[in-house]
């Protein structure tokens, strides 16, 4: 009744279909993030680049959103497992290793941008993270980019705040030392910078004209490219997106 194709195969092949599918989607994400890094240096806009690529029917639009990288229960685990199985059986999974390395680099890019805009040091700076779950519409914190970004910020001496529309209990357990807020405007008050980590729809509709005067410094790192750079700059924000070269210059 589902009218769905059924593939009957051996156990090893079935397992490989699952691993390869998730690894391929993770590769698409890391690919577009690498292109985003190049866009920043060349003055191109990754949003427009991804849109143009997606109109090629051989490529499509899905999983071409540049940002702070993938997380969750499937992609990190499956790419790592596939890389490990390949290694112990004498293969050289260099593409899979690059996928994981690029994903880690996306978190570090946030720190580099913050350092650049906050005087070269993050010691005692107050940074607010907008979104803590690994993706919107879930409370799942497994391999969430927010956890690694928070850890890197704390390592550099920053005071880290966090807000998420859903994640509360999980965040307090997964993000030790991060002060959690129940309201994004309260979180913004006194911050030196805000970082969009999860693309919750709520954040797209924040009153950013209200947010800006609450902050000590109006630095905005748009880790999911949900805002219009020109609009944010017109409001007085010091804006940095991911791969939005023309806006980051």
Residues labelled as active-site residues: 74
Whole-number Å distance between alpha carbons of 158 and 221:
15
For residues 127 and 161, the answer to whether their CB atoms sit within 8 Å is: yes
| 179 beta partners | 161
CA atoms within 13 A on the CB side of 37: 17
Nearest to 225 by CA among 86, 65, 4: 65
Which residues in 131-178 belong to E strands, given as ranges?
159-163
Whole-number Å distance between alpha carbons of 18 and 20:
6
Whole-number Å distance between alpha carbons of 46 and 225:
9
Q: Using only C-alpha atoms, what is the Rg of the chain?
A: 19
């Amino acid at each position: 009744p589902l009218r769905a194709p059924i593939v009957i195969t051996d156990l090893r092949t079935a397992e490989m279909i699952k691993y390869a599918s998730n690894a391929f989607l993770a590769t698409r994400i890391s690919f577009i993030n690498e292109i985003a890094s190049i866009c920043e240096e060349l003055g191109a806009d990754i949003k427009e680049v991804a849109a143009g690529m997606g109109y090629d029917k051989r490529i499509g639009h899905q999983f071409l959103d540049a940002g702070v990288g993938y997380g969750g229960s499937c992609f990190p685990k499956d790419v790592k497992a596939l890389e490990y199985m390949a290694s112990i059986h004498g293969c050289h999974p260099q593409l899979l290793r690059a996928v994981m390395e690029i994903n880690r680099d996306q978190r570090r890019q946030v720190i580099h941008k913050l350092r650049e805009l906050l005087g070269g040091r993050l010691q005692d700076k107050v940074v607010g993270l907008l979104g803590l779950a690994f993706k919107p519409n879930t409370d799942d914190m497994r391999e969430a980019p927010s956890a690694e970004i928070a850890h890197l910020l704390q390592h550099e001496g920053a005071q880290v705040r966090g807000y998420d529309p859903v994640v509360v209990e999980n965040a307090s357990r997964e993000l030790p030392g991060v002060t959690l807020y129940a309201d994004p405007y309260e979180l913004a008050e006194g911050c030196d910078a805000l970082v969009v980590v999860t693309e919750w729809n709520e954040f797209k509709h924040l009153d950013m004209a209200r947010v800006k005067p609450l902050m000590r410094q109006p630095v905005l790192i748009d880790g999911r490219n949900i805002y219009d750079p020109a609009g944010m700059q017109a409001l007085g924000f010091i804006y940095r997106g991911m791969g939005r070269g023309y806006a980051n210059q």
